[in-house]
Amino acid sequence: MTKSQRTTAPPSPPVLGPRALSRATLARQLLLSRSPMSATAAVEHLVGLQAQNVKPPYYALAARLDGFTPEALSRPLADREVVRIVTLRSTIHTHTADDCLTLRPLVQAARDRELHHFRAGLAGVDLDRLAVRARALVEEEPRTMKELREALLEDWPDADPQALSVAARCKLPLVQITPRGLWGRSGQVRLTTAERWLGRPAEPAQAPDATVLRYLAAFGPASVKDMQTWAGLTRLREAFERLRTRLVTFRDETGTELFDLPDAPRPGPDTPAPPRFLPEFDNLLLSHADRTRVVPPELKGRHWSGNVAYRTLLVDGFLAGLWRLDDDALVIEPFGRLDRARRAEVTAEAERMLGVLHPGRRYDVRFGTVRE
C-alpha cells in the first residue's frame, strides 16, 4: 500500500467520567450556581419540571434560582402562562403554555402505547368516540377524574372505570386547572383541555429534532438512550443522526456515545458544586438511562422505595443523603459521614432554602441517623 492509499482512522471522541458529566449537567440544571432567570424562563429552559405532587416544582426552583419566591411560580400558573399536564414518562409535569401545546403532541405515541395496558377494560369502547365525549364533558365545565369517570360510565357501563379515565387522559391533553398547583392554596384536581384553558389550539406533532437540542441544553452531554428515558419515547436515533453535524460527541467510561451542543457549558471535573436540597422526583435524578453522573453506583436505588421517591441531598454534585421536613425541623439523613466543613455548608443551604419557602416559620436543622 502506498502512502497516498493509507487511511487515517478518525480520532476517538474524548472520554467524560462521572465527575465531568456531573459538572456539565449541574451547570445546565442551574445547580452549580443559582440563576437570575424568572421561574417561567427556568421552566422553559429545563423543558418542564416533574410534578406529581404540588410542592416539588417550588423546591426544585428554590434550589436553582436566585431571588425565587413561591409567588414567582404561583403567579404564572394563575395567569395560565404555566400549566400542569401529563407529558413526559406519562407523569404530571409543570410546563410553559407553549411547551404544553407542542410537547404533548410529540409524546402522544407513548400515550397511545400506554392504552394497550388497559385494553381488557376497554373492550367494546370506541376510543375516538370516547375522546369526543370526554372533551365535551371537560370543556363544558372542568371536572374531577371521578366526575369524568362516572359520566363516561353512562355511555360504556360495562367498561372498567379506571380504564375509561386513563383513556380520556391518554387521548386528550388534560390540564389541572388552578387553584391546583398554587403554593398554599392547592385544591383538588379538576381537569379541562389545554386548548380550552389556554384559549388556543395545540400544535401539530413535529419531528423531535428541536426537542433533542433542548434536551441536550438542559441535560447533556447525553446518549440517545438517555433522552429516550427522559421523554418516554423510542426510536430517537434518527433525530440524533440528522443533527450529528451540528453536535459534538464524547464517550463515557463504558464506551457509550454521548452527544452535546458545541457551545454548551462543560466545567472541569474539579469545579466546586455546592450542596443542594432537591424535591422528590427531581428531573436531575430521572432524566438519564445511566444516572452515575448524579447517583454513585453504591447508592443506586437508595433514594427510592417501591414507587415512592424521597427528597434528596446533593453534596459535591452527587447524591449524598435524604431529607424530610417535620413539624419543627428539617431532618437530614446522610449516606455517609460529613466532616465539619461539609455539615456547615449543608446547614447553611438548608437554612437558606427554609427562608425562601417557609419565611417566618422556625425550623431547626438536624442531622439524623447516618444511612450506611
The model's pLDDT over 102-146, given as tens digits with 9 standing for 90+, comes to: 999 999 988 989 998 999 999 999 999 999 999 999 999 999 999
| Separation CA 89–CA 106 (nearest Å) | 12
pLDDT at site 204:
83
What is the number of other CB atoms lying within 10 angstroms of the CB of residue 25? 24
- Tell me how many degrees the CA angle 306-63-348 measures, rounded to the nearest 5: 105
| Separation CA 169–CA 144 (nearest Å) | 12
- Predicted TM-score (pTM) of the model is 0.94
Q: Which residue's C-alpha cell is 449524598?
A: 320
The four Cα atoms 290, 93, 39, 33 give a dihedral, to 10 degrees, of -10
Q: Does 1 score more than 70 pLDDT?
A: no
Question: What confidence tier does 8 reach under pLDDT thresholds 50, 70, 90?
Answer: low
**C-alpha distances in Å from residue 187, one per residue of 144, 214, 232, 271:** 11, 32, 29, 42
Helices (H), 220-331: 224-231, 237-243
Residue 266 or residue 116, greater confidence: 266
Q: Does 309 score more than 90 pLDDT?
A: no
- Tell me how many degrees the CA angle 26-28-34 measures, rounded to the nearest 5: 70
Summarize pLDDT for 33-77 with one digit per residue, the tens: 999 999 999 999 999 999 999 999 999 999 999 999 999 999 999
Summarize pLDDT for 187-230 with one digit per residue, the tens: 899 999 999 999 999 888 888 999 999 999 999 999 999 999 99
Q: How are the residues of the chain apportioned to helix, strand and coil, as percentages rounded to the nearest 5?
A: 45, 15, 40
Summarize pLDDT for 89-99 with one digit per residue, the tens: 989 999 999 99
Q: Does 5 score more than 60 pLDDT?
A: no
**C-alpha distances in Å from residue 256, one per residue of 16, 144, 218, 222, 262:** 10, 45, 19, 9, 18
Sequence-distant (6+) residues with CB within 8 A of 26 are 32, 273, 284, 317
What is the number of other CB atoms lying within 10 angstroms of the CB of residue 362? 8
Q: By C-alpha distance, which of 119, 134, 122, 107 is closest to 47?
A: 107
Paired strand residues for 69: none
Paired strand residues for 277: 313
Where are the chain's structural domains? 43-198, 295-367
Question: What confidence tier does 10 reach under pLDDT thresholds 50, 70, 90?
Answer: low
Q: Do 153 and 168 contact (CB within 8 A), yes or no?
A: no
| Separation CA 131–CA 116 (nearest Å) | 16
